[in-house]
């Protein structure tokens, strides 16, 4: 499995090279790649399905539990078959669609990378690896959506998709980390055995919310659905691929995967059923009202995704089977419809239903037949596979252990709207009587129709012989719940309630279509427009930008002293907060001992410091600064540190000397602070001073037990033959530190040297 993914990644990077040799035929050559994987998976399925799950493990970094673990069971098999199978068709289709594209090789390179990350996502077992692939799908889909980078709309849509799904990725990461904390398990397949522990745990709700947030964003559930219709800015092959088999199915895959570890609780059922129901109704209504063909299909995808979320929310035997069957049905008809919409767009030059030429079925008979085939599956009409899926859905809701009535009504409502959408796609698009626009049809090669024809006819074939998929669906379901009995799918279930309801929804759908045919399309109310999730996203996005801009303007002023001020304030607030609330002020009064000599020294330091602050003469400020330095040297001497005292005295003298040397080149007077600045700076600096004093009080509260001190005292003579312990530490025990110090000093000296020479040269130039 690793070889599969790796080969796709490697070939992705070879695409530009291939393009050089094969030109516009590269796509067809590339189609061999997913096809090979498809065949390999089929062979695995036919030969090895008894020994499922197949596992592969490559140790990467076992210490971090980071292993390249892959896992092929019924569920990942189903998804990877869809990814590679539909991927093959997408390549063939894109070969025609992108024929004269400006960034041909770039497009196919990213598409291939996207396919690799999708395959990795469904095949990976270790969740750290899954997160990596998840983010890879986010990034590659960002590049695919924003493919037409000259268009601002495409760029904005790409951004939106990335921000929404990447924030979901963060939530998913948090959820996975929490699960690892609870269970200590890093493989997804191993999570099922901890189901009891997870669902009983205090952290269950946060885990559930985080994981579902991630899956909801990826699968475009309300209220995160808005990125998907906007992602229509991508080229049509991408849309078809994203919607039918990849990207948005990743979230569904996660719900299927986690339903045996996190599922079957009240919280899970309520969350998934509510969000899923809301999504399927919203998506269906929005699809019904759309005029843009691609948008209509996008919203119907959202609706279908809602249906899938509900099935895994219910989680009964019938629901799991229905969910898996619906995933397949949806993949067939949605990929076909998208590709056909792209062809119609290429031929007529418009995606808008209202602008399509009249009586299109005469001009594009092949497209019409294929749309009809796929749309019948969408509408759930016998004998197409969509019908089988819909029957199973109705059986599921009728047998649901909770809210059976409500869920059935929702499914029926959505089914009704889907029938109306079927009529829009077929009747309204192809049988339009009159139009004011004359369009010349572009000719396209016949093989353009190959890819959509395959998936549309697959929908018909599996509708007639649904039992052919029984084993695959059973395998996938068993990997969710091992106790499920194998199921046999059938087109004809006999006269039962589900069939009656299905017939009812078809009649109601036809009624809805004719009732609404003259109604307008887009959302009318200006008021409501402000509160759509998309508008809220825009507001948040712009607000964030404005906040960042404001903050940058306020903090990054370009004035050095304001940077210093913000740094000091941050230190004051953060350190002060942590210190006061986490540590607290403590002062050991017993150890206070005051000597008159020391107090006098302290007073000298304070006076000298004060004079440095207030004087406006530079030389006076320097002289008083040197007094401070000398006083500190004496303090060091007094406190048993003669080495420090000598060094400090020397260095202070040197600094003051250099200062005096360059002082004559500077203006004599010091520029004063304004009154306001004086008070403000005094406030900040006194705050910091106070904080430092309090920290030192608390720090010296307990006596220090230094084992190092004893060690050096014992060993400095025996090991290093030195009697001055400080010296021994510097030149022997910690000699490497001293070496580093010398290097720093040398670099500083070089810098000083360069600065001195630089100014000399400049002066020479001036005199010349």
Partner 1 sequence: MEFLLSILTGLLFAAGVYLLLHRDFAKLVMGIVIIGNATAIFIFVAGRIVRKSAPFLDEQGVAPDTFADPVPQALILTALVIGFGIQAFALLLFKKVYDIPDIEEVDDLKK
Chain residues 706-735 in contact with partner 1, contact rule CB under 8 A: 706, 708-709, 712-714, 716-718, 723-726, 729-730, 734
Q: Residue 712 CB, nearest distance to partner 1 (Å)?
A: 6
219 touches 250 (CB < 8 A): yes
Stretch that binds partner 1, among 89-97, 355-363, 432-440, 596-604 (CB under 8 A): 596-604
681 touches partner 1 (CB under 8 A): yes
Rule CB under 8 A: choose which of 150, 440, 483, 593 binds partner 1: 593
Take residue 412 and report the two structure tokens written for it: 């029926």
Nearer residue to partner 1 within complex by CB, 194 or 636: 636
Nearer residue to partner 1 within complex by CB, 48 or 617: 617
584 touches partner 1 (CB under 8 A): no
745 touches partner 1 (CB under 8 A): yes
561 touches partner 1 (CB under 8 A): yes
Residue 91 exposed, middle or buried by CB count within 10 Å (0-12, 13-18, 19+) = buried
Q: Residue 551 CB, nearest distance to partner 1 (Å)?
A: 19
Cα 718 to Cα 17, 109, 280, 707, 733, distances in angstroms: 69, 68, 82, 17, 12
Rule CB under 8 A: choose which of 558, 570, 579, 627 binds partner 1: 558
Nearest to 229 by CA among 13, 523, 655: 523
Number of residues that make up the chain: 768
Distance between CA 141 and CA 34 in Å, rounded?
18
555 touches partner 1 (CB under 8 A): no
- Residue 53: cis peptide before it, omega within 30 degrees of 0: yes
667 touches partner 1 (CB under 8 A): yes
573 touches partner 1 (CB under 8 A): no
10 touches partner 1 (CB under 8 A): no
Cα 252 to Cα 213, 225, 305, 535, distances in angstroms: 12, 14, 8, 26
Question: Residue 344 — φ and ψ, nearest 5°?
Answer: -60, -40
Nearer residue to partner 1 within complex by CB, 405 or 748: 748
Nearest to 26 by CA among 134, 121, 105, 117: 105
Q: Residue 591 CB, nearest distance to partner 1 (Å)?
A: 7
Stretch that binds partner 1, among 200-208, 304-312, 509-517, 676-684 (CB under 8 A): 676-684
Distance between CA 171 and CA 451 in Å, rounded?
37
Tell which positions 218-237 bind partner 1, by CB under 8 A.
Answer: none
685 touches partner 1 (CB under 8 A): yes
Q: Residue 584 CB, nearest distance to partner 1 (Å)?
A: 16
Nearer residue to partner 1 within complex by CB, 209 or 644: 644
580 touches partner 1 (CB under 8 A): no
Tell which positions 619-648 bind partner 1, by CB under 8 A.
Answer: 621-622, 625, 628-629, 632, 635-636, 638-644, 647-648
Nearer residue to partner 1 within complex by CB, 544 or 564: 564
494 touches partner 1 (CB under 8 A): no
445 touches partner 1 (CB under 8 A): no
Rule CB under 8 A: choose which of 433, 553, 665, 764 binds partner 1: 665
675 touches partner 1 (CB under 8 A): no
The dihedral region occupied by 494, where left means phi > 0, alpha psi between -120 and 50, and beta the remainder, is left
Take residue 364 and report the two structure tokens written for it: 């594009």
Residue 455 exposed, middle or buried by CB count within 10 Å (0-12, 13-18, 19+) = buried
Rule CB under 8 A: choose which of 205, 666, 679, 735 binds partner 1: 666
Find tokens 């939106």 and name the residue. 160
Q: Residue 550 CB, nearest distance to partner 1 (Å)?
A: 19
What angle in degrees, to the nearest 10, is found between the helix axes of 642-663 and 618-638? 170
Distance between CA 727 and CA 346 in Å, rounded?
84
Task: Round to the nearest angstrom and report the end-to-end CA distance of the chain.
Answer: 74
Distance between CA 65 and CA 501 in Å, rounded?
51
Size of the site for partner 1 (CB under 8 A): 103
748 touches partner 1 (CB under 8 A): yes
Rule CB under 8 A: choose which of 443, 591, 765, 767 binds partner 1: 591
Nearer residue to partner 1 within complex by CB, 209 or 641: 641
């Amino acid at each position: 499995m690793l070889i599969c993914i790796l080969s796709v990644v490697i070939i992705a990077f070879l695409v530009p090279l291939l393009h050089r040799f094969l030109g516009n035929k590269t796509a067809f050559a590339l189609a061999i790649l997913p096809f090979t994987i498809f065949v390999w998976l089929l062979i695995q399925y036919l030969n090895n399905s008894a020994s499922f799950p197949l596992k592969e493990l490559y140790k990467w970094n076992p210490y971090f539990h980071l292993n390249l673990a892959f896992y092929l069971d019924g569920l990942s098999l189903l998804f990877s078959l869809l990814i590679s199978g539909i991927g093959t068709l997408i390549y063939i289709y894109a070969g025609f669609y992108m024929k004269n594209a400006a960034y041909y090789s770039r497009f196919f390179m990213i598409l291939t990378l996207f396919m690799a990350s999708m395959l990795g996502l469904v095949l990976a077992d270790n969740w750290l690896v899954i997160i990596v692939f998840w983010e890879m799908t986010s990034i590659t889909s960002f590049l695919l959506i924003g493919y037409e980078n000259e268009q601002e709309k495409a760029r904005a849509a790409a951004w939106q998709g990335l921000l929404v799904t990447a924030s979901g990725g963060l939530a998913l990461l948090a959820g996975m980390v929490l699960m690892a904390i609870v269970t200590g398990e890093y493989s997804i397949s191993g999570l099922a055995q901890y189901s009891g522990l997870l669902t009983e745990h205090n952290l269950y709700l946060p885990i559930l919310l985080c994981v579902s947030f991630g899956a909801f964003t990826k699968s475009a559930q309300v209220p995160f659905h808005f990125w998907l219709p906007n992602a229509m800015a991508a080229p049509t092959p991408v849309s078809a691929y994203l919607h039918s088999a990849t990207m948005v199915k990743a979230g569904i895959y996660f719900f299927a995967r986690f339903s045996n570890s996190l599922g079957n609780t009240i919280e899970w059922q309520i969350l998934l059923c509510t969000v899923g129901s809301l999504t399927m109704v919203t998506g269906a209504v929005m699809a019904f009202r759309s005029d843009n063909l691609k948008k209509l299909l996008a919203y119907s995808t959202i609706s279908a995704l809602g249906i899938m979320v509900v099935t895994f929310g219910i989680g009964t035997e019938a629901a799991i089977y229905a969910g898996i069957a619906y995933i397949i049905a949806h993949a067939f008809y949605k990929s076909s419809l998208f590709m056909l919409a792209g062809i119609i767009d290429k031929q007529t030059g418009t995606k808008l239903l209202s602008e399509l030429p009249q009586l299109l079925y005469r001009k594009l008979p092949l497209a019409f037949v294929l749309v009809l085939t796929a749309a019948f599956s969408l509408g759930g009409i016998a004998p197409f596979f969509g019908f089988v899926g819909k029957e199973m859905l109705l059986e599921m809701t009728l047998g649901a252990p909770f809210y059976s009535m409500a869920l059935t009504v929702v499914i029926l409502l959505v089914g009704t709207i889907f029938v109306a959408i079927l009529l829009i796609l077929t009747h309204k698009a192809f049988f339009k009587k009159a139009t004011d626009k004359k369009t010349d049809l572009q000719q396209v090669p016949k093989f353009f129709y190959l890819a959509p024809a395959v998936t549309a006819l697959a929908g018909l074939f599996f509708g007639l012989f649904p039992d052919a998929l029984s084993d695959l669906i059973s395998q996938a379901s068993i990997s969710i719940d091992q106790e499920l009995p194998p199921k046999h799918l059938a087109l004809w279930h006999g006269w039962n309630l589900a069939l009656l309801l299905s017939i009812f929804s078809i009649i109601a759908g036809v009624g809805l279509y004719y009732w609404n045919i003259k109604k307008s399309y887009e959302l009318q109310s200006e008021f409501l427009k402000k509160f759509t999730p998309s508008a809220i996203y825009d507001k948040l996005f712009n607000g964030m930008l404005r906040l960042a801009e404001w903050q940058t303007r306020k903090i990054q002023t370009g004035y050095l002293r304001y940077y210093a001020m913000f740094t000091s304030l941050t230190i004051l607030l953060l350190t002060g907060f942590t210190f006061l609330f986490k540590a607290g002020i403590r002062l050991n009064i017993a150890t206070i001992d005051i000597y008159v000599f020391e107090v006098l020294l302290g007073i000298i330091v304070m006076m000298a410091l004060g004079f440095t602050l207030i004087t406006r003469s530079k030389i006076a400020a320097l002289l008083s600064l040197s007094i401070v330095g000398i006083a500190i040297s004496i303090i060091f001497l007094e406190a048993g540190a003669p080495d420090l005292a000598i060094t400090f005295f020397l260095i202070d003298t040197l600094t003051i000397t250099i200062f005096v040397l360059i002082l004559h080149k500077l203006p004599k007077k010091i520029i004063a602070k304004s009154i306001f600045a004086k008070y403000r700076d005094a406030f900040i600096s006194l705050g910091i001073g106070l904080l430092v004093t309090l920290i030192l009080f608390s720090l010296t509260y307990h006596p220090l037990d230094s084992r190092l001190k004893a060690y050096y005292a014992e060993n400095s003579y025996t090991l290093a033959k030195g009697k001055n312990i400080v010296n021994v530490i510097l030149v022997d025990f910690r000699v490497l530190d001293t070496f580093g110090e010398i290097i720093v000093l040398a670099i500083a000296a070089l810098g000083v040297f360069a600065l001195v020479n630089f100014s000399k040269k400049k002066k020479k130039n001036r005199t010349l």
